[in-house]
Amino acid sequence: MNTFWAVHIPRFVIFYFILANIIAIILFPGGNHLDSTQVGYDFTLNFFSELGFYKTFSEDINFLSSFFFNSAMFLFVAQGFGFLFMPFFFKENKTSYIFAWIGAICIFLSTIFYAMVGLTPGDLYFNAHIFAVFTAFRLTIPGVLFLMLAFYFSRASNIYTIGAFLLLASVVAYMFFMGDMPQIDPVNDRENFERFVSIETLRLNVILQKLIVIAMLISMLMFTFGFQKLKKSK
């Protein structure tokens, strides 16, 4: 049961997220924060969450793309629930076990807010959407920190501790970069957005988002192998 939830479910969620986003990108009509005439999705100018918009910046209804993206975001709750079974792999060391529980709870709570990203499309509920994004990342930080400590005090290979540390550093750095971009509603306050946000700033933030998401997916997948090795070492 622990292996099913903490290993297989997260792997399935990661696989579905990648597949759903590929389909959503293919189906995305077009437009970005600064160019409504753009055709299709630009990996360096469109944020992931734009795939979940009800209507894109090109004024096209985005039903199909948003269905796949938002369903992938909702599914993160299943991954978060799966991580609640993760502490049982660390039971042989009391310190690791306690840290694992704290980390698991933080990660579970973060996935609720990742799901809220899908429930609050940025073109309809900008402030709620931004709140969900920032809160999800803020909860991810202690979640990964305590997971790193759980691995450190366990019998698992140091590669998992190092992986968790690199992910933690990446998320913290990304939070600082996110704070540099003005949080202006690009739909209802487009004039101010275009005044304060350049194409270079937009591109940098979009690319950084892609990198942090890729890092999170790789790390979470790596952690599932760590859980499996802990089970085998008992």
Tokens of residue 197, six digits: 């946000």
Domain that holds residue 179: 2-232
Using one digit for the tens of pLDDT, what is the confidence trace for 176-223? 887 678 889 999 999 999 999 999 999 999 999 999 999 999 999 999
Give me the mean pLDDT over the 101-117 stretch.
98
Number of structural domains the chain divides into: 1
pLDDT band at 7 (very low <50, low <70, confident <90, very high): very high
- pLDDT tens digits for 45-62? 999 999 999 999 999 999
On the question of pLDDT at 234 being above 90, the answer is no
> Rounded CA gap, 47 and 35, in Å?
13
**Crossing angle for the helix pair 199-232 and 158-180, nearest 10 degrees?**
160
In angstroms, rounded to a whole number, what is the distance separating the alpha carbons of residues 232 and 203? 44
Query: With bands split at pLDDT 50, 70 and 90, how would you rate the model's confidence at 136?
Result: very high
Q: What percent of the chain has pLDDT over 70?
A: 99
What is the overall mean pLDDT for the chain?
95
Strand, coil or helix: 61 = strand
If phi > 0 it is left, if psi is from -120 to 50 it is alpha, else beta; for residue 31 that is: left
Contacts of 20 (CB under 8 A, 6+ apart): 68, 69, 71, 72
